[in-house]
Amino acid sequence: MPATRSGIYQLNEGVQVEQVHSCYLCGGLGRVVYERLRDRLFGAPGEWGFLRCDSCGLTWLTPRPVSEDLGKIYARYHTHGAGVPPRPAVARLIDVVLATRFGYSRVSTQRLPRLVGCLAGSVRVIREMAGFEIMYLHASNRGRLLDVGCGAGEFLVRMRNLGWEVQGVEVDPNAARVAREHGLRVFVGQLRQTPVPACSLDVITLNHVIEHVYDPIAMLAECRRLLVKGGKLVILTPNSASLGHWFFSGSWRGLEPPRHIHLLSLRSLRTCAERAGFSVAVLRTTARGARSFWSGSARIKHAGERYSERLLAVGKWLFFILANAACFFRPRSGEELFLVATKEQE
């Protein structure tokens, strides 16, 4: 087996792995933060750990699977395979907020609904719920959108219905098949393998994708190549400095060993975007996904134990309230990082 910059290939319960001791961004040595973690969600084999670079804030998986064995760690992964779910009970309110705050005028323009939308949109939590339904893309930005890691196409269907010209990229052929059943144009494979012409897209979205990638800067550089001048890159990814990570430690849902290769901080995500040639317009954290992070983290922490689903439901709502309050007073503590960057030059 070939040598790597950090060691030689080894076997980890049947998965070929390599040790990575130096930081991807600055080359410094990392310190151990977790060891002997297992995949408690999807049952991938092996024991895994994470190192953290105190210089740039990057956290990374080690040992990590080699690319030839990625299929073994994604064998039971959901990959958004359930298809497009029904809209929630608050869909009407969200749609009115999209009309009043984000310019999607297809929603009813009756005075009362628009007034409700204006009032609701002034509430941060509701505005976040609506905004991330569309990755904070205003109607005035409508154009050609590519969603990388589009799964079964829920987001693409939503954006198509709002007037965007959409297409997706997905490595899971089963998820791509479900997306195509919704009439979507979806390419199967890696971003660099897609036949999308250079300088042809207005927006590229990466929703919980960059943390799975061995070379994030190379992926972002490819995104930049595909965007028109002035085009937007929108990223959502777990925040390694979140409240949930502090609370759950090695059981935090955002770690997800062995599929999450890099866990980013505000600083390290900015570094990746800027080295790829982007100009960062928005970079912040959000607690909008706190409920799902709580649920996943609690299941990991109590794996194999009996627990009350009712208490789990209460806990996720309490954590949602706490995480949003914490994010208001300590803006770096949200469960996810949100970045919007632009391609300023050809």
Residue 203 has pLDDT above 90, yes or no: yes
The mean pLDDT of 20-47, rounded to a whole number, is 94
In the chain, where are the structural domains located?
Answer: 10-73, 139-342
The mean pLDDT of 32-58, rounded to a whole number, is 94
8 A C-beta contact, residue 103 and residue 140:
yes
Q: What is the pLDDT of residue 106?
A: 60
Q: What is the pLDDT of residue 32?
A: 96
**What is the pTM assigned to this prediction?**
0.91
The structure tokens listed for 265 are 């901080």
Spatial separation of the C-alpha atoms in residues 171 and 189, rounded to whole Å: 4
Name which of 36-45, 128-137, 251-260, 302-311 the model is least confident about: 302-311
Q: What does the pLDDT look like over 149-194, one tens digit per residue?
A: 999 999 999 999 999 999 999 999 999 999 999 999 999 999 999 9
Spatial separation of the C-alpha atoms in residues 69 and 67, rounded to whole Å: 5
| 312 vs 287, more confident | 287
Give φ, ψ of 212 to 5 degrees. Answer: -90, -5
The structure tokens listed for 168 are 């997706």
Spatial separation of the C-alpha atoms in residues 333 and 117, rounded to whole Å: 28
Q: What is the pLDDT of residue 7?
A: 52
Q: What is the pLDDT of residue 313?
A: 84
Spatial separation of the C-alpha atoms in residues 56 and 34, rounded to whole Å: 18
Q: What is the pLDDT of residue 228?
A: 97
What is 139-342's CATH number, 3.40.50.720, 1.10.490.10, 3.30.450.20, 3.40.50.150?
3.40.50.150
Q: Residue 1: pLDDT band by 50, 70, 90 thresholds? A: very low
Q: Residue 9: pLDDT band by 50, 70, 90 thresholds? A: confident
The structure tokens listed for 241 are 């400095």
